[in-house]
Amino acid sequence: MTRHYTARAAVRAELGAGGRTRLATLRSDGPYALRAAPDAVYLVGAAAGPLGGDELHLRLDVAAGAALAVRSVASALLLPGDGESGAHVRAAVGPGGHLDLAFEPAVAAAGSHHRSVTEIALADGATLRWREELVLGRHGEPPGRYTARVDVTHGGDPVLRHELRLPDRTLQASGAVLGGARCTGSVLLVGPGLAKEAHAAEGLAVMPLAGPGVLVTALAADSAALRRRLVHGESLARAAVDTAENTPAGTGQTPAVRFS
């Protein structure tokens, strides 16, 4: 017998007294729980998966001036099941707000079929840090099918529309797409004070976008090397900062997120 779940979770962060962020909403059901810690809200999975057929919907609202960091406690192991599994994240960040959304890697196990959709709408003056990491297969196994799209807008204008489509191993092996790398990931920073110059090294590119952001893209043979490359790339993306007046996306500091 196969049972699917549809989990829904929502967070709303507001600016509270004394400039601290207050969680006005923290709601979750199904096998996912949201837990507020001093540094971030954590997504805690209470079951294996997702399996094919499972769906997670996460809604994030960051009100004007508030700052929210969202993490996961462990990597997500994408498993086969009855059809596609799906993860849908919709986020809205108000003026002067900051969202830092960085989950642990997704691991696309053999036979899995996963689709992830992320939509982030930033108001004018809102800032963002977003990270995604993908591991293609557990050790020594071929990966499942994986598609992830992220759409980020700022003041209604598109900043980044970016889709990773890996329907079969051909594209993973292609020198144009992943070049055989088992791991790929990105960090997107949106805000003022970021690098204006591109940088590239083996398996890493730091790319100032046409809009107000920088995308760091990395390829690596394993998840530890991927993380090192992304951390290095992120530090380069912030390297343009040379004054104390830059705002959160540029300073390398997540603003103090203290939930009260």
Partner 1 sequence: MALPASLLLLADSRLPAGGHAHSGGLEPAAEAGAVTDLPTLTAFLRGRLATTGLVAAALSAAACGHAARTRGGDGGDGGLGGHEGWSVLDAETDARMPSPAGRRASRAQGRSLLRAVREMSPHPALDALAAFSAPHHPLVLGAAVAVTGGSPADAASIGAYGAVTGPASAAVRLLGLDPLAVHRALAELAPQVDAVAAEAAGHARGDPRDLPAASAPALDIFAELHLQANLRLFES
Residues found near partner 1 in the complex (CB under 8 A): 149, 151, 157-165, 170-171, 173-179, 181, 184, 186, 198-205, 207-211, 215, 217-219
What are the φ and ψ backbone dihedral angles of 62, each rounded to 5 degrees?
A: -115, 115
Shortest CB 203 distance to partner 1, Å: 7
Nearest CB to partner 1, comparing residues 198 and 224: 198
Q: Is the dihedral of CA 125, 164, 33, 90 positive or negative?
A: positive
Specify the residue, 3 or 196, whose C-beta has the smaller distance to partner 1: 196
Residue 40: CB atoms within 10 A of its CB come to 19
Of 30 and 211, nearer to partner 1 (C-beta) is 211
Shortest Cβ 131–partner 1 spacing (Å): 14
Rounded Cα–Cα distance for residues 155 and 133 (Å): 27
Nearer to partner 1, 29 or 168 (CB): 168
Cα 184–Cα 47–Cα 165 angle in degrees, nearest 5? 25
3-state secondary structure (DSSP) of residue 17: helix
Nearest approach, Cβ of residue 87 and partner 1 (Å) = 17
Q: Are 66 and 255 in contact (CB under 8 A)?
A: no
Residue type for position 6: T
State in angstroms the smallest separation of the CB of 175 from partner 1.
3
